[in-house]
């Protein structure tokens, strides 16, 4: 009672501490712009000030260009244009080209296409630099905050930078203001009339944008439901296959996709309407054209001024729309910043960076646990340690043994102070570890765990994590002590060899020895070994164990080991049972009590075969009958073989398997879209129509400009009236063509996406379990593939087809019109057009390059080392960023120079033709506008080449799945489809390895006969092959050798789905699908009646997870019932209820039971003891117990009885 009160008191203290922590967090500054800017120093403030000036000047550049252009129009309009005027205009444009290009080069990252003054370069450069500097500083603070958190805290946050959007916002806002000012300067009357019309440009786009966003969210929600079905099916694929529910699951997925299909089509219509509102621009032109003509006629305004004032108004309005879009980024950035600062200001319960407390001057290494109570934060109410007491003298080697979940690893976690105990004290040399700085404390210990953590850097760098300032001699010494020096020296790069992501270039034994070297480098006073050799084969274990034995000399060592033989020489062995030390003493002392837990555990391990079985052993035993993957064990493998097996140098990875598939052909792509050919055709008509708009608009814009210089006012009014109606027609035509193309392309794209997803999912549900075992084919990976690949193919087929159609129609009409107007200028213009396209394309691609700056970091509890590694990684990143900035600068220099220089050439040559009466003023400007607009359309299409590449890759991925042949065909038309089966099962000399672990033999020559309608129980140690037997009966895998017969027929001769319809599986972790209890029970039989479902539920007493799955199995009425540790996760009372349900269910059918509690299988007709993939004992409960201490089953029963005491 007193202990309970203490625990409750401790919990209250914890809660108040957490509340205080939350309060501090909530009181911290929010992620506002002001808070983010606090990350800036004086250099950032200077850069931002220069950036603001640059952004203002950049936004003003359009207005300045328009003023220059208006002057040029006025000069060329007069009939007496001179060569001097022509040359002067061309020279002015050349100057503009040089200044703009130079500015772009200095900017290195720019968003304006017409910067013409020196300050303009500062916009992109300054904002990019300060954004990078502040983002780096913010990310470093965020990383530092994450690293100092206690291990019980886990969260993910994503940051965003406000600064990168500021430039766009200021530039667009300035462009709008200066555009209107320029319009007022050129023609204030026109500006006053046109400004209200700007709302017509902005409001529809914003409204449709909001609606599109809402529909997009609904589509994501719909896809989320469908994705949930995929994730459930793939993560529970064995249940799906076992209940032959592939067709039903596929149908559920199809139904879930239908709402997304309908919303996607609706989104296509709205997208067309949103883009179609761009046609309002033409309506504004109609208004400006008419009113401009009245200004020229009645007020004597210059035609060039009126015309360019209209351009300024239009561009300014579009810029304002872009500026409003940027406001969204500010809101999103504020939200992201709030999450970041919440983490930065969070006060952890165990602050890794806390330096308060006094370190012990001379650490001896004595450790003591006093009355420790502990529960994990994620499992409140479940005590892992309960009044735990243990004292480890300095220099002692202590072994911790016990059942899984008894609390062994928790002891190490508490000693490292990853968690705080609820009650009790942990002492180091008599000092409570709470009073010691956490970082200093951890530096006194060296931890080697079962799964070593290696960073994606060199072996030398990984070892240096143990002691950053260590010399190379110390590193080599630690490697030698860890038995790692020899294999490292044989590697091509020696200590400089990169270990790969998470150390995947190394074998398990090599990774473990590197981690031991890292632990030894700091010369720790305490060495902690948490099952450091459990994941290794016997040969690798021997090499690592030798290293550990040498490493433990002269220091306090705490060992958790699964092989008890490795603890024989320990000074003290503590047996942990239910969170307490049940027994302790040396190996000899504990073995004297033959009925003690430790002695029984040792006896059990002696009873079982202790030899490690490998493929090499199998080949020796059977004359090389089994295929070897490389012929070497992990411990002895050479560096070359280690690299070739695990790395990109030789391993047959999924990526290389992908490369075996040829790129999809055009015929395959066409065949994929063939069912939607009508929608595609109509969509292409709409795209073709919209593609005609840019050249036709340019043609009439040039004509409109010429009308302003018409001397006959009557003629001017007549022509203006015609052009106004033409522009109004363009407005309607633009809207309709966009609605048609996007609506019908939406139908085609969404239908294609739905069909592709359905076909992929249906195909995936035919693949063998081995395919799902691969890391690249996890439920998350498959969901992502279904989401991204199908969308990328839709993008490839619809969006790109739309753009391509528009580009072709634009280019064709542009060339025809240009030659009709003036073949001489057309030849020059068409010759220069590739230059314009290249310039715009180059600009788009270089800006894309500049937008891809990726920072990555991995975090663990080596705080300072990780931060320095992060800093170093950012040095490389910044150098790469600067290098890319230079490349982008050169690209933008060429782009901007070509754009302006080619305009200069056009006007120079056109002016010459105009002077010699070879071309009219009207045709000159028509060809000029056609050249610019068409070049932009083609270039924008060309910049999508990277998307085409992604789409091709996605298409390749899709066909790779659709064309893949499964290794285990579920629907074999030639297979036997029995109406009923008796349920007799026989394994004949069965050998099996899991494909994902090709070196580990699971079953070796298994002979097992299960008679029909009998209850057979499989028992044995974890990993002995019990569950594998069940999986082979379901034919989730095929055997390596030998055969499995059901009713005397090899299971490979059956139609697999027909066979599985007679088998039911209830596993340890009950798989329930989203839906009602009724739906989950009915999952076993698609057309089950209500009476059958109720009967099954009644028999199973179904009202919790495991009993619902049991009811599902009963409804199937199987001839063979497989129970794989079905009650292992239940408490005693629940297990009793389920056991009673099972007893009722087992009658009159073959039952194969894998059980962890041996008391539950005492009534089985036969009990089979499995070890190392072989039957070592079989018989009923009484017969096996009669064998006494020499029997494996007897030892298992004895051990369980002791564990319960």
Q: Does residue 302 lie within any of the structural domains?
A: yes
Q: Which residue has the tokens 């709008």?
A: 176
Question: What's the token pair of residue 546?
Answer: 């030798």
Q: Which residues of 1026-1051 are buried (b: 16+ CB within 10 A; e: fewer)?
A: bbbbbbbbbbbbebbbbebbbbeeeb
According to the model, what pLDDT value does residue 14 have? Answer: 44
According to the model, what pLDDT value does residue 638 have? Answer: 39
Mean pLDDT score, 1144-1165: 80
**Is pLDDT of 423 > 70?**
yes
More confident: 549 or 132? 549
**Is pLDDT of 51 > 60?**
no
879 shares a domain with 1001: no
Output the domain CATH number for residue 55.
1.20.1560.10
917 shares a domain with 953: yes
For residue 292, give the nearest of 189, 173, 392, 177 by alpha carbon.
189
Neighbouring CB atoms inside 10 A of 885's CB total 20
- Is residue 119 within 8 A of residue 53, CB to CB? The reply is yes
Neighbouring CB atoms inside 10 A of 506's CB total 28
Least-confidence region, from 63-67, 592-596, 1045-1049, 1123-1127: 63-67
Q: Does residue 499 lie within any of the structural domains?
A: no
935 shares a domain with 920: yes
Q: Return the axis-axis angle of helices 198-235 and 303-344, rounded to nearest 10°.
A: 40
- Is residue 885 within 8 A of residue 121, CB to CB? The reply is no
15 shares a domain with 87: no
Helix (H) or strand (E) holding 447: strand 445-449
* Helix ranges (DSSP H) in 963-1103: 1026-1033, 1056-1060, 1077-1082, 1090-1100
According to the model, what pLDDT value does residue 1 have? Answer: 41
According to the model, what pLDDT value does residue 1162 have? Answer: 82
Helix (H) or strand (E) holding 428: strand 423-428
Q: Does residue 651 lie within any of the structural domains?
A: no
Could you give the strand order of the β-sheet that contains 385-392, starting from the edge strand earlier in sequence?
385-392, 367-374, 423-428, 431-432
140 shares a domain with 23: no
899 shares a domain with 1035: no
Selection from 323-327, 1141-1145, 1153-1157 with the highest mean pLDDT: 1153-1157
According to the model, what pLDDT value does residue 839 have? Answer: 55
Q: Does residue 597 lie within any of the structural domains?
A: yes
According to the model, what pLDDT value does residue 318 have? Answer: 67
Least-confidence region, from 147-161, 341-355, 602-616, 1149-1163: 147-161
| CA 848 – CA 870 distance, rounded (Å) | 25
Identify the burial level of 242 via C-beta atoms within 10 angstroms of its C-beta, where 0-12 means exposed, 13-18 middle and 19 or more buried. buried
For residue 448, give the nearest of 529, 525, 536 by alpha carbon.
529
399 shares a domain with 264: no
For residue 124, give the nearest of 843, 841, 835 by alpha carbon.
843
- Mean residue pLDDT of the chain comes to 73
| CA 125 – CA 274 distance, rounded (Å) | 34
Domain extent at residue 21:
2-29
What one-character DSSP code corresponds to residue 797? I
Q: Does residue 1129 lie within any of the structural domains?
A: yes
| CA 456 – CA 253 distance, rounded (Å) | 39
Q: Does residue 1170 lie within any of the structural domains?
A: yes
Q: What is the pLDDT of residues 912-955, one digit of tens each?
A: 887 788 888 788 888 878 877 776 666 666 555 555 556 667 77
292 shares a domain with 225: yes
C-alpha to C-alpha distances, 819 to 108, 696, 907, 913, 920, nearest whole angstrom:
38, 14, 17, 15, 14
531 shares a domain with 407: yes
Domains contained in the chain, number: 4
Residue 98: half-sphere exposure toward Cβ, Cα within 13 Å: 5
Q: Does residue 967 lie within any of the structural domains?
A: no
3-state secondary structure of 1122: strand
Q: What is the pLDDT of residues 816-858, one digit of tens each?
A: 988 888 888 888 877 776 765 665 555 555 444 444 433 332 2
Q: Could you say which of 609, 632, 649 is where a domain stops? A: 609
Q: What is the pLDDT of residues 93-120, one digit of tens each?
A: 666 656 554 444 444 333 333 333 333 3
215 shares a domain with 78: yes
According to the model, what pLDDT value does residue 341 have? Answer: 60
Mean pLDDT score, 439-450: 82
Cα angle at 608 between 607 and 613, to 5 degrees?
Answer: 150
**Is pLDDT of 149 > 80?**
no
Dihedral (Cα; 697, 702, 704, 706), 10-degree rounding: -170
More confident: 267 or 904? 267
Output the domain CATH number for residue 416.
3.40.50.300
According to the model, what pLDDT value does residue 370 have? Answer: 93
374 shares a domain with 312: no
| CA 583 – CA 581 distance, rounded (Å) | 6
| Helix and strand counts by DSSP (H, E) for the chain | 42, 20
Q: Which residues of 667-683 are buried (b: 16+ CB within 10 A; e: fewer)?
A: eebeebbeebeebbebb
pTM for this one? Answer: 0.64
R_g (Cα) of the chain, nearest Å: 38
72 shares a domain with 6: no
Identify the burial level of 384 via C-beta atoms within 10 angstroms of its C-beta, where 0-12 means exposed, 13-18 middle and 19 or more buried. buried
**Is pLDDT of 81 > 90?**
no
Per-residue pLDDT band at 476 (split at 50, 70, 90): very high
**Is pLDDT of 1101 > 60?**
no
Of all residues in the chain, what percent carry a pLDDT higher than 90? 12
Q: Does residue 754 lie within any of the structural domains?
A: yes
């Amino acid at each position: 009672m007193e202990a309970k009160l203490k625990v409750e008191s401790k919990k209250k203290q914890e809660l108040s501490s957490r509340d205080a922590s939350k309060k501090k967090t909530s009181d911290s500054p929010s992620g506002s712009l002001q808070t983010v800017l606090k990350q800036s120093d004086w250099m950032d403030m200077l850069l931002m000030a220069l950036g603001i000036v640059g952004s203002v000047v950049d936004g003003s550049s359009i207005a300045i260009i328009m003023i220059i252009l208006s002057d040029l129009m006025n000069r060329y309009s007069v009939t007496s244009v001179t060569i001097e005027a022509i040359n002067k205009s061309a020279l002015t444009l050349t100057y503009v080209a040089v200044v703009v290009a130079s500015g772009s080069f200095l900017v290195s990252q720019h968003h304006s296409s017409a910067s013409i003054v020196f300050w303009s370069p500062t916009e992109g450069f300054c904002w990019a630099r300060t954004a990078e500097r502040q983002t780096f500083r913010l990310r470093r603070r965020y990383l530092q905050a994450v690293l100092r958190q206690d291990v019980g805290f886990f969260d993910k946050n994503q940051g965003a930078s406000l600064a990168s959007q500021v430039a766009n916002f200021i530039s667009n806002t300035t462009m709008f203001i200066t555009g209107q000012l320029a319009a007022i300067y050129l023609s204030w009357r026109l500006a006053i009339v046109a400004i209200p019309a700007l709302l017509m440009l902005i409001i529809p786009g914003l409204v449709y944008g909001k609606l599109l966003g809402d529909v997009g969210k609904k589509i994501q929600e719909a896809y989320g439901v469908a994705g949930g079905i995929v994730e459930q099916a793939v993560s529970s694929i064995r249940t799906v296959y076992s209940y032959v529910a592939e067709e039903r699951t596929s149908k559920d997925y199809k139904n879930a996709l239908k709402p997304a299909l309908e919303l996607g089509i609706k989104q296509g219509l709205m997208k067309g309407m949103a883009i179609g509102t761009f046609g309002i621009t033409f309506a504004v032109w109609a208004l400006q054209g008419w009113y401009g003509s009245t200004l020229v006629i009645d007020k004597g305004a210059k035609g060039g001024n009126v015309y360019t004032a209209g351009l300024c108004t239009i561009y300014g309005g579009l810029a304002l729309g872009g500026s409003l879009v940027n406001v969204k980024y500010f809101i999103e950035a504020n939200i992201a910043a709030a999450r970041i600062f919440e983490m930065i200001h969070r006060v952890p319960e165990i602050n890794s960076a806390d330096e308060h407390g006094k370190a012990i001057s001379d650490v001896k290494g004595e450790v003591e646990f006093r009355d420790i109570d502990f529960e994990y934060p994620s499992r409140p109410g479940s005590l892992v340690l309960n009044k735990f007491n243990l004292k480890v003298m300095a220099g002692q080697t202590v072994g911790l043994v016990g059942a899984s979940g008894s609390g062994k690893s928790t002891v190490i976690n508490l000693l490292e102070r990853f968690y705080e105990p609820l009650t009790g004290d942990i002492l180091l040399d008599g000092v409570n570890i709470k009073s010691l700085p956490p970082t200093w404390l951890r530096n006194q210990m060296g931890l080697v765990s079962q799964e070593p953590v290696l960073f994606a850097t060199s072996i030398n760098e990984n070892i240096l994590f143990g002691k950053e300032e260590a010399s190379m001699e110390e590193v080599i010494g630690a490697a030698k002590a860890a038995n790692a020096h020899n294999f490292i020296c044989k590697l091509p790069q020696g200590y400089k060899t990169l270990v790969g992501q998470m150390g995947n270039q190394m074998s398990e034994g090599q990774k473990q020895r590197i981690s031991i070297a890292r632990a030894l480098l700091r010369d720790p006073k305490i060495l902690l070994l948490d099952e450091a050799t459990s994941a290794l084969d016997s040969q690798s274990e021997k090499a690592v164990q030798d290293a550990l034995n040498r490493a433990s000399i002269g220091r306090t060592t705490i060992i958790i080991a699964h092989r008890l033989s490795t603890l024989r020489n320990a000074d003290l062995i503590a047996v942990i049972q239910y969170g307490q030390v049940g027994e302790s003493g040396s190996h000899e002392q504990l073995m004297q009590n033959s009925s003690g837990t430790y002695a029984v555990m040792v006896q059990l391990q002696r009873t079982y075969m202790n030899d490690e079985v490998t493929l090499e052993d199998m080949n020796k035993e059977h004359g090389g009958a089994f295929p070897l993957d490389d012929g070497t064990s992990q411990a002895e493998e050479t560096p070359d073989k280690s690299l070739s097996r695990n790395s990109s140098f030789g391993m047959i990875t999924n990526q290389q398997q992908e490369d075996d598939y040829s790129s999809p052909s055009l015929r395959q792509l066409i065949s994929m879209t063939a069912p939607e050919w009508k929608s595609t055709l109509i969509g292409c008509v709409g795209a073709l129509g919209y593609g005609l708009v840019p050249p036709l608009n340019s043609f009439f814009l040039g004509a409109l400009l010429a009308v302003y210089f018409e001397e006959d006012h009557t003629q001017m009014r007549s022509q203006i009236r015609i052009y106004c109606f033409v522009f109004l027609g363009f407005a309607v035509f633009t809207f309709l063509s966009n609605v048609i193309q996007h609506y019908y392309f939406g139908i085609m794209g969404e239908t294609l996406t739905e069909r592709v997803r359905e076909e992929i999912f249906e195909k995936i549900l035919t693949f063998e379990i081995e395919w799902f075992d691969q890391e690249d084919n996890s439920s998350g990976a498959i969901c992502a593939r279904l989401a991204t690949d199908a969308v990328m193919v839709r993008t490839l087929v619809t969006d790109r087809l739309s753009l391509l159609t528009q580009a072709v129609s634009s280019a064709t009409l542009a060339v025809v019109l240009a030659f009709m107007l003036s073949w001489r200028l057309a030849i020059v213009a068409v010759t220069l057009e590739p230059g314009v396209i290249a310039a715009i394309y180059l600009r788009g691609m270089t800006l894309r390059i500049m937008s891809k700056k990726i920072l990555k970091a991995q975090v663990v509890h080596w705080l300072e080392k990780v931060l320095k590694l992060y800093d170093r990684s950012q040095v490389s990143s910044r150098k790469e960023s600067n290098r890319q900035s230079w490349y982008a600068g050169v690209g933008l220099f060429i782009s901007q120079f070509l754009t302006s220089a080619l305009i200069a050439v056009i006007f120079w040559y056109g002016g010459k033709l105009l002077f010699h009466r070879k071309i009219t003023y009207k045709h000159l400007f028509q060809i000029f506008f056609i050249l610019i607009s068409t070049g932009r359309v083609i270039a924008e299409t060309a910049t999508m080449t990277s998307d085409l590449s992604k789409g091709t890759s996605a298409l390749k991925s899709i066909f790779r799945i659709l064309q893949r042949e499964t290794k285990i065909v579920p629907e074999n038309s030639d297979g036997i489809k029995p109406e009923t089966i008796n349920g007799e099962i026989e394994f004949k000399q069965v050998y099996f390895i899991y494909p994902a672990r090709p070196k580990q033999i699971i079953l070796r020559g298994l002979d097992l006969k299960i008679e029909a309608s009998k209850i057979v129980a499989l028992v044995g140690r974890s990993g002995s092959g019990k569950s594998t037997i069940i999986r082979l009966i379901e034919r989730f895998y095929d055997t390596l050798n030998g055969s499995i017969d059901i009713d005397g027929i090899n299971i490979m001769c059956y139609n697999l789905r027909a066979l599985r319809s007679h088998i039911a599986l209830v596993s340890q972790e009950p798989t329930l699908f989203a839906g009602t209890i009724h739906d989950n029970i009915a999952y076993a039989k698609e057309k089950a009646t209500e009476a059958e479902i109720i009967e099954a539920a009644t028999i199973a007493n179904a009202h919790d997870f495991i009993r619902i799955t049991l009811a599902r199995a009963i409804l199937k009425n199987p001839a063979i019932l497989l129970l794989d540790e079905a009650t292992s996760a239940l408490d005693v009372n629940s297990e009793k209820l389920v056991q009673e349900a099972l007893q009722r269910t087992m009658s009159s059918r073959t039952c194969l039971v894998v059980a962890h509690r041996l008391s539950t299988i005492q009534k089985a007709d036969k009990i089979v003891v499995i070890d190392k993939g072989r039957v070592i004992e079989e018989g009923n409960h009484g017969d096996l117990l009669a064998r006494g201490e020499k029997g494996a089953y007897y030892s298992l029963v004895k051990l369980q009885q002791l564990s319960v005491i």
